Structure 1
C-alpha cells in the first residue's frame, strides 16, 4: 500500500510507496561474526575464579535435581557409553545437527521469506546475547566434568571430528552448560518453523529433533535437564522483540491490505453460507491461528466464528439502486475500523450484495497482526480453484476510490533505463500527479517510504514544477532526507490463473486501499498476470477528483516513456 500524507504548514509531507527492501547478506555475515566475537570475549574475559565457580554451580544444579528426585542423567550417560556405534552417532548429533538446522533455516528465510527475516534474525540474536550474559555471570560445568559422580565423557571415548573434543574447536567455552544452546537453537528452529510454515510434517519433524537433541545432550554428559529448561527460557526471551514489533504493528492500524473480489451474481448467486463452506473446506491451518497466542507457538481455534469472519453486507442504496464500488469501499473501511477480537484468526471475508445487477463482491481483509505470513492475496489463493478465463481488471473510478491498470513495463522499463528501483517510478508518478491535482500549497519535497513496514526509511521526492525525468533523477540525490511516514506501503501478488470461489466464477480482483490517517492519497498495487492494477483512494484535501489524479498519474508514466524513446 502506498500512502501520501501531508504535514500542513511545514516544509515536508509524509508518503508511503510500494516495495520491500530486503536485507543485505554482507551485513548479515558481519552481524554473525560480531555475535561470534562476543562469544569469544565471554570466554577470554571470564570473571575471576570462573572454573572453580563453574564446578560448584554444576554440583548445585545436580543437587537441585536430586532434591526433586529427577537426577536421571547418570544412568542414561553410562548406558550410552557402552553402545559403540550408537555412542558415536550421538556424539555427531550433538556436534552438528543443531548448527546445521539453524543455519539452513536462517538461509532459507533470508532467501525465500525475506520479509520475515528481520524478526527471525533479531529473535536469534537476542536469544544468544541473553545466553552469553548467563555464561559470563553464572558459569556451569557440564556433568561430564563432574567425574567424581561417575559421569563419562562419551566424546572422549570415541573422538568426534569437529566437536569440542577435537583440536578444531578446542577453544570452545566448556563452562557454558546453563542454558543449553543446543536445546535453545533446536527449539528456536521449531518455533520459527511453526510461525512461518503450517505444514504438519515439518512441525512434527522439528519437534522430534528437539526431543532427540534433549536425549543426546543428557546422554552424552554435556547437559543437565535443567539446562534444557534454561534453553526454553532464553528462546522465550528472544521472541519478546518479535512480539513487541507485532504489537506496534497492531497499534498502527487494523488492516494490512485488502482485495475486492467481484463475483458473478447469477441465480441463485453467491451466499455467505457458500463462502463459509468453501473457507471451512479449504482454509489452511496457518490461517486458522488466533492472534492471542500466549507462549512460543501460535494457538489455533478448532473452528473459526464463521458468522464474524464472513458477514453479509448489502450495498443497495436507500432508493433500491445498486451501490457500486463506492459503497463497497465505504463498507470495507467501516469493517476494517471495527475492533478485531484477539481470540480469532486475523482475517475477514465479507460478502457484499447489491453491488450491481449481476455482480456481488467479496471484501477480503487481513489484520496487520498477521504480518507478512498471511496477506489478502494469500487467503484468496488458498480458497479458490482454477476456473474459466477471467477478464483483466479495467480502470474505473467511483467516489474517492478508483483503479488503474498498467502494463508492468510501465514501471520496469523506466526503472531499468534510469537505474533506479521500480518503486522510485511509483514515487515519481505519485509526486507528479499530486503536483498537478492538489489545490493547496505543497512543500518543496514529498517524503516517500518504500517498504512493507511503516517505520521504514523515507526518500524525498522533489515537488518542483519540472520534467518528470528530472524528478525521477532527483530522487536519488535527495534520498538522504528523513521525515515521518504517512502510512504503510505494500505490493501484493494476485492470482495469475482463472479462478472460482466454490462454483461461483470470479470476474476480477481489485486491490483495496483503505484510509490512512493524514494521507492525501493511498495506493495499493496488485500484480495480475502481466499487468499491475493500482487501487487509489484520494483525500478531499488533494482535490478529491480521483479520475483526474489517475489521468495525471498515467500521464507522468507516459512522459517517462516518451523521454526514453527520444533519448
Structure 2
C-alpha cells in the first residue's frame, strides 16, 4: 500500500474497534423501553388530545394546500392487492433495512458504526420526546376526517394496527419514524463508499415510504417533514458530539472548485518563481526542509480530502506520510529560456492534481539560465485562491512576509444592504453572447511578460484609471489584435470577464477562498486604445461599488451551505464557465520586501491562474518588488501563439503610454520593458 492510499481518516484508538455486542443489544432494548415511557406520559386524555393535534395538522395542511393524503388513500383503498402490499411494506421494510444496516456497520465498518448508532439513537430519543409531549393520532384513527384504514379494511395479518400488533403506540404519528429510519439509512449509505445502485435503492425506499405512510393514512405530510428535521438535527448533533477534535469541513466556497473541475479543466493556481541563484541551487532537499519547517503554519501541506459523499461535506484529514518524492521534485528543461519553461508550466496546468494526497506540488526547474533558478508552485483551488497561494509563498520566505492589511470592511448594516442591492443587480444582469472558441481539449499554454510597476501606475494615474483597468484594456486590445476576435468584423463586440475581488477581513489566511467574482464586459471591437480604456474604466465602476462582490460572496459562502453536496455541485457547474463568463482576469498584490526562499534571493514571480470550463483564457497580474508580472494561461487552440498575445498586450500598454495625455514621469521605463523577457529584464 502506497503512502497516499493508506487509511488515515479514522481517529486514533478507534480504528477497527467494536463495542461489546451485549452492551449494544441492551442499548437497543432501552430505546424500545423509551416508547413505553413516552406512551404513559400524562397529557390529560391522551387519545382526545392526540386526535385534536391530528385535526390541527390536517387543517394546517389544507391551509398550506399540501394535504395530499386523502386522494392517495382513496386510490389505494380501491386497489386491494396494492393496499395489502403497502401495508406490509409499512410494517416491515423500514425495520429490516435499519437492522441490516446497523448489523452491517457493526461487522464491516466499526469505524462508522459508533457515530451511526448514536445518530439513530438520537432520532428515536427525539421522537419519543415528541410523542410524550405532543401525541398525534394518525389520520386513519380520526373518524370525522373520512380516511379508510387499509389494514382493517383488507384484513392484513400482522401489519401495524392489526390485532396481532394492536399494542403498538397509536399516538406516535409526529414525527414519522418510518420515514426517519428510512432516511437515516439513506444518509448513512451516502456517507460510505458503497455501490451507487445500493444508494439509489435506499433513496427510492425513502420516497416509497413517504408515499405509503400517506396512502395508508398512517401519517400526514407534515409527519414526513418532521422526520426530515429530526434526522437533520440528529446528524448535526452527532457531528458535534465528539470529545476529540474533528477534521475541518471543506466550506462550500472551496468545494465549488472541486465540483467544476474536470479532466479537461484542472483547477489549480500557483506561481512561477525566479530565484537569483546558480543553476542547481537551492537543492530539492533545501526546498523540502523549508516546507517541513512551515508545516505547522500551513496545515494544508499535510492534509488531504476525505472520500466524497453526496450528502455529507468533505473534510480535511491528516495525511500520515507525505510523499515528498511526488510533492517536491526537479525538472530539467530541454533548452534554456522562457519558451521551454512556459511550455513546462502549460503541461503542468493541463494535469489535474490527484485527490488522494495533499493537493499541491513544487517543482525546481534546472537549465533555465546559469545564474537563475525557476520554481513552480501549484495548489488546488480548493486549498486556496490566488491570494491564499501568495500568502503561502510569503510564509515560506525568510524573513516571513505578510500582505498589507486590507481594512476592516463595511459595517454589518452596510454589508446587508449592499448584499440585497447586489443580488438585485445580479438577477437583472443580461447574458453575454460572445464566446471564445473553447475546445475542451485540456491542453494549456502559458506565457509571461512584465513591466515596471511605477511606470504602469503613472500611466494609470495619467488616464485617471486604475492598474486593473490597464490590465483589462491590454487583454481586450491584445485579443483584438492577435486573438480569436482579431478577424471579427463586428464593432462593439464585448467579452465578459470574471474579475476576483477580496471579500474577507483585514488579514488574508493561507487557506480557503476569500474572493468573489464580479463580471466586467471588455470592449473588444475596433477602436483606439485610449477610447477602449475610457470605455472600460466606466464599466469597471461596478468593481468599486462592492455590491455585486458582496452578493456573490453571500451566494458562495452562505446560501450554498443550505445545499447538500450533490445539489451544490450541480449549482456550481450550472453557474461556472461560459454561461456566466468567458475569461478570467485578476490583479494581485504582492510584496516589495527582499526575501529568501530556501536561502536563495527571490527576484520575481508570475501568477498562474486556471482557466474555467468554457472560459479558456485566464490572465493574472502580480506586483512584486517594483515589477508588474503577468501570467497568461489559455487553451492551446485558442491562440496560434501565446507569446504573440503577450506582445500584443504589451504593445497596447505602450500605446496607452504614448497617447495624447500628460506623460507620467516613469513612462520611459516601458521602452525598456518592451524588449521582451530575458535575463536583462528579469534582473
Shorter-chain TM-score range: 0.3 to 0.5
RCO comparison, higher one (Cα < 8 Å, 6+): 1
Larger radius of gyration: 2
Give the structure-2-normalised TM-score. 0.40
